[in-house]
Amino acid sequence: MICLNCKKQIPDDSTHCPHCGTEVFHKIQLAREIGFRRYQRWIFYGLFILVFLGMIGIVVKVYSINTKLLSEITNIQTSVSQKEAELTKAKNDLAILKKTEADLNSANIKVSDDLKAQIKVAEDAVAEKTVLQNQYDQSRAQLAAFNSNLKNLAKVATDIATVDLNKIPLADIVYSGPDIDSDGLPDALEGALNTNASSTDSDGDGYGDRAEIIGGFDPLVFGGRLPTDNAFANAQKGRIFKQYSGYLWYVGSDAKRYFLGKTE
């Protein structure tokens, strides 16, 4: 039993507390002690329940935390997987961009080289144009002087009919000037000879105009010959003749006529 006064343990058959000397009433003491022990038991049960509920709460909280952590870990793993995929894509994109950059650099070098080549061509063209312009200017000056000389020659030239002019053989030389049909007879000369400047064979006999005239054949008549007169030609050496429409001719020491040009 327990002493109700000093709360110390005493023997069950004690009449007085050996510690404080208080008288012990067994019925009262037993009833109180039974009630106290019941009270202690309920307190113990309550504490046990509280501890149990606390443990359950801790377990639930730990489970909740673990569940949350697992969810976060799953989300993190998913995010990591996405980031790895994005990183892989970024690496691939970077490789493509680097290749594109290399291609662009190569293209830029090619464009630069092409541009330099084009600039060189343009510079050469400008230089060539300058040379051609100078040559053109010189040619115009020479042409003006030549035309002036032709006009002076025309003043001392003797008029001659085409029929008489054809008696004098044409000199076999290379004549200069525009030649549309490329038959060796410049267009101006073909105008004086009355041949077709757009055809190499005016009479269509299969022989070129130049070959026929040099050979003494008439380029305007199929199979015809020119009325060449050597005696007449020799008598005209050193003379300048003016044909119709202003065509000028010179008869050389070889008794052949040389085309000088047109004054009108």
162 part of a folded domain: yes
137 part of a folded domain: no
Q: Are 195 and 202 in contact (CB under 8 A)?
A: yes
Work out the average pLDDT over 119-141.
70
CB contact burial 66-77 (16+ within 10 A = b; e otherwise): eeeeeeeeeeee
Q: Give the residue numbers spanning the domain of 195.
A: 157-262
Task: Report pLDDT for 136.
Answer: 41
Instruction: Give percent helix, percent strand, percent coil of the chain, each to the nearest 5.
Output: 60, 10, 30
pLDDT band at 132 (very low <50, low <70, confident <90, very high): low
**Dihedrals φ, ψ of 85, to 5°?**
-65, -45
Q: Is the pTM of this model over 0.75?
A: no
Q: How far apart are CA 180 and CA 189, in angstroms?
A: 12
The token duo for 180 is 């549309």
227 part of a folded domain: yes
Q: What is the CA radius of gyration of the chain?
A: 67
The token duo for 45 is 């049960």
Q: Which amino acid is at 205?
A: D
109 part of a folded domain: no
Task: Report pLDDT for 32.
Answer: 72
Mean pLDDT value across the chain: 84
257 part of a folded domain: yes
Q: Are 139 and 234 in contact (CB under 8 A)?
A: no
Work out the average pLDDT over 172-176.
87
Task: Report pLDDT for 230.
Answer: 94
Work out the average pLDDT over 8-20.
76
199 part of a folded domain: yes
Best CA proximity match to 186, nearest among 206, 170, 169, 163: 170
210 part of a folded domain: yes
pLDDT band at 257 (very low <50, low <70, confident <90, very high): very high
Q: How far apart are CA 259 and CA 249, in angstroms?
A: 5
Domains contained in the chain, number: 1
Higher-pLDDT residue of 216 and 151 is 216
**pLDDT tens-digit profile of 136-148?**
456 445 445 545 6
pLDDT band at 123 (very low <50, low <70, confident <90, very high): confident
223 part of a folded domain: yes
